Structure 1
Amino acid sequence: MGQLVDGVWHDSWYDTESTGGRFRRSVTAYRNWITPDGRPGPSGKGGFPAESGRYHLYVCLACPWAHRTLIFRALKGLTEHIGVSAVHPNMLSEGWTFATDFPGATGDRLYGLPFLRDLYLRADPRASGRVTVPVLWDRLSDTIVSNESAEIIRMFNSAFDGLTGNGQDYCPAELLPQIEAMNERVYSNVNNGVYKTGFATSQEAYDEAVAPLFETLDWLEDHLSGNRYLCGPRITEADWRLFTTLVRFDPVYHTHFKCNRAWLREYPSLWGWTRELYQWPGVAETVRFDHIVRHYHYSHATINPHRIIPINPVIDWHAPHGRDGL
């Protein structure tokens, strides 16, 4: 995970020496919003109206943050309106690349660029910061709308409803306080918690991260034993934000990131809930375990220096989930 500094690429990993071994995620730089009429959203500038074919999504199929956007693209009927390019799962010294020698890696479908950083430089030749996915690109103004997944899924949830006629709302106003509270706890302790655990370079940092991770998983298990979804009987954004972490838990986070106090499949309610969301119409097609397993084990040389790809457990994701009675 390198970075650009004034338009120049630097192959530099996250600095954990200055943080006592603690992983700290970088803040995303592009925070504009697509809105129905192009007016400014909660942040950034305006000029990005919802239009078919105008926007393009750049993702890594292994990345849980990018996965959120693919799920909302599917759920909200946007597959015919927003194109997708998927990077290669290997993230090495050149960062994300558009190499195509892995099934599902599409190359850059818009410009034929070799590296994702070249897209950032197309938007700003003197760009500085981490080159991350997802990226929501505007073909008309030739720039990045957003690289913040939490905000991209909010756009997808409602901005294009007038175009698609899909009014399914995964962030209803009456549940927003509950959704936000759930998102905050899950993000800190689970979504980002697995990374804080896996990328820790000191015992103290690891212990600080892994304890709240499993405390939160225990709490979620108890919560879902009496609730169909995280915020009650209705599925919401909060569920999909948690799902993209949990679907990766047993294949990579448990062992590769040392989150190994328990397997996800040892939590009856969480395991059934994760399978239910996997089986949701259109969602399984967004999950690429080959990219997930390859990316994590091959790209993180500090964790797996010999880049050995494990065989992994055989998991039946289509087994009955048993959640219908809640």
Structure 2
Amino acid sequence: MSQQGWISLYRKIQDSWLWEDKPFSKGQAWIDLILLASHEEKKVLVGNELIKLERGSLITSETKLAERWGWSRKKVHDFLKLLECEQTITLETNNKRTAINIVNYSVYQDLRNSKRTAKEQQKSSEGTAKEQQKNTNNNVNNDNNDNKKINNYINNTCVHDDSPAEKSPEVGDGAQDDEAKAGSPGKGETYTQEFETFWSHYPRHKEKKKAYRVWQTRLKEKYKPEDIIKAAINYAEYCKLNNLEERYIKLAATFLGPDKPFEEFINWQNSGSGAVAKVNAPRNYFNSYGGQRKYDIKELEKMLLSRRG
């Protein structure tokens, strides 16, 4: 099958009976995401919240996509995770919505329009044979450049190998910044299955690449993957019990960072009454300093709220 060139595709195809035939194939679902993505930056109202929608992004939910594609919700979830792993999309999810950003959206939309007007064609035909040949060569070069952009994009996002990642430095208080700067797995690498299991349980899906580097550092310190995964499961339950908004949930890179807050959740258990168990609850930093009054976090929160009132 030829891999050269590209086509224009109008969003009106979504109104065709062909597009409405379900279930969608994976290829059709991928093209559908590109069609659904916003072609310009704008603000959209989601519930009572005004959200800035970047070009190449869309706000939806797994339930809506399942209905649109004729799939189960689990199949939609697994498909989106696969696209995220392949670095063709980025995801931000919460219990209300799923935000999807098409990586390199401009690669699909900003290529030069090769169609010329009838007037331009007539002008070209009136030129000398030398000028016509020059125009032809320029068009071929431009088309080749466009094809090269697409091929480079495909090759850079879909190739994998098993080469190990480099060790992230960890020195003093700046260790977490150093780990974060390490970025994604090296070109051509994939995330390990154990890390994917950790990521699927962790309650906040943001900055996955940074989290993976810190994950590798912890494993080199002889922490067991199953313990870290258990900590992620417990932390997710802790966040749910305490109704934490996403912005208050630690990033995974922080959870696994040099301070190692994950250690406190390896053997954490809830009290069974919807509150955090006192024995295994994360340490209270207000009580960590000798010689000053000890505060209970809930008590302090009530005091602050009462003062606001």
TM-score bucket of the superposed structures, by smaller chain: under 0.3
The answer to which structure has the higher helix fraction is 2
Greater RCO, 1 or 2 (C-alpha within 8 Å, sep 6+): 1
Q: TM-score, normalised on structure 2?
A: 0.25
Q: TM-score, normalised on structure 1?
A: 0.24
